[in-house]
Amino acid sequence: MLPEAFQKRMQSQLGTEYGAFAESMEGERHRALRVNPLKGGDSFSGARERFLALSPWRLEPVPWEENGFYYNQEDSGNPPDLAGKRAAGEEGPRPETFGRSGRETGKEGFRTGPGRHPYHDAGVYYIQEPSAMAPAAFLGEGPGEKVLDLCAAPGGKTTQIAGEMRGEGLLVSNEIHPQRARILSENVERMGIRNCLVLNETPERLAEVFPGYFDRILVDAPCSGEGMFRKNENAGEEWSPESVELCAARQDGILDCAVTMLRPGGRLVYSTCTFAAQEDEGSVGRLVRRHPEMEILDPAAQERLAAWGFAPGRPDWTESGTPGIEKTLRLWPHRLRGEGHFLAVLRKGGLCIRGEARSLYGTERGIPEKDCREYLDFAADTLRVRPRGIYLRFGEQLYLAPADMPALRGLHVLRPGLHLGTLKKNRFEPSHALALALSPREALRCFPVDAAETREAPAASAEAYLKGQTFPASGEKGWYLITVDGYSLGWGKLAGGIMKNHYPKGLRKM
């Protein structure tokens, strides 16, 4: 049930469109996944094509994200929802489809949905609501830049940005709530991201440390969550007009911090998953009035946006009718296949000399290679290609950070780059994060397991490995990268004809 006050406000906002909107809120929600460009293929662009060739599900493209795909809900035990509804509630032609139905493969284990498939554990894709893919798609980040995801948990947009950065540059992902920050860090690990600094800080503290530092900033702000009413039944019970006002005030403070951290000429994308004008057009309008150096940009050609079902923002829904608000975007559930979302793309005026941005305490110097002897011995014996960066040590734990990693002094850090593993006396224990960040071509020894369990070899399956089982194997003793269909899944260590399982106990399937 939608809150009565919410219904009255939406009737006032939408007028004759309200009927279609209300009907859409009672319909089935749309499910999608986003392919990870960091996984599979000999190139970043090849990851998408490789996954489409292997996918056991029927997939349809999400128009606004090249790596995004609606998946066949029938295969995952949910009601089919492939046809969908087009703009203004009209059914359009079926888009191009890829992959196969689990019913067509004839393989055991392929009838499960994407959330339970070994590809998910390997970080091959991220399951993400399709509308939520839109904000990061307009950030325009590129390899080598400094990018901040300010309100990043659970990690959907962070992992999307990381894919576009291709492992180059610096991605800082922050979450103010400790538990959600841990989930963010876990998703960064699963997706094999090497160049991400995960923080658990307030926006105000970050603004002190990183003034004028970032080329791009995404602010997917905490909001009243009206766009999630269809996805989350509890969201409606927690909503109130007062929560809208509180969220709008909080968003003003977060955006002020973001502007402080953005370099001149840099790009800011602001987004919410709410329909409330006070938090959407209103927040952008107040931002521009407080910071006249911020300019609202056209995110893309109007023809393309209209074809996707995006609607322009409404200047008449702001107090002062701020110029440029019509360039912001609204994603309505009755106009496209996704939940409610809002986004705006802004640019900070002024000129910036590349390379002049500096954090408050400078950059991390790292430790010399001679202090990482155990890891270097492991790498010489196990890896064809050793990842590059600077080494950071915290107790026994060794990390690899980008060369321009900012100094971590005074920051609450959860993940300072890629966790390589544990330095122990005369030996090195590789981390699960390192396994997921490697491609099979970077390892000297790989051991493939089957995506689906078969009667002929029930032990050498991904399911058995994910449960922590060992299995007989032959070959040179030492560390092996366990792979499924050419995707890294974790570590195994061969000794005495037995492949010992090093999949983390906390992640094992029960």
Which residues are known to be catalytic? Answer: 273
For 227-249, the DSSP string reads GGTTT-HHHHHH--HHHHHHHHH
CA distance 428 to 232: 44
**Strands 146-149 and 214-220, how do they pair?**
parallel
| H helix and E strand count, the chain | 16, 23
CA distance 219 to 270: 5
Pair of tokens at residue 223: 């909001």
Q: Is the peptide bond before 154 cis (omega within 30 degrees of 0)?
A: yes
CA distance 464 to 451: 10
CA distance 379 to 386: 7
CA distance 56 to 78: 16
CA distance 33 to 143: 23
CA distance 488 to 27: 38
CA distance 240 to 253: 21
Sorted by sequence, the CB contacts under 8 Å of residue 45 that are 6+ apart come out as 37
Sorted by sequence, the CB contacts under 8 Å of residue 301 that are 6+ apart come out as none
**Residue pair 83/94 in contact by the 8 Å Cβ criterion:** yes
CA distance 437 to 433: 6
**Residue pair 401/366 in contact by the 8 Å Cβ criterion:** yes
Angle at 17 between CA 14 and CA 130, to 5 degrees: 90
User: Among 425, 423, 426, 444, which Cα is nearest to 491's?
Assistant: 444
For 352-383, the DSSP string reads --TT----TT-B---B-GGGGHHHHHHHHHHB
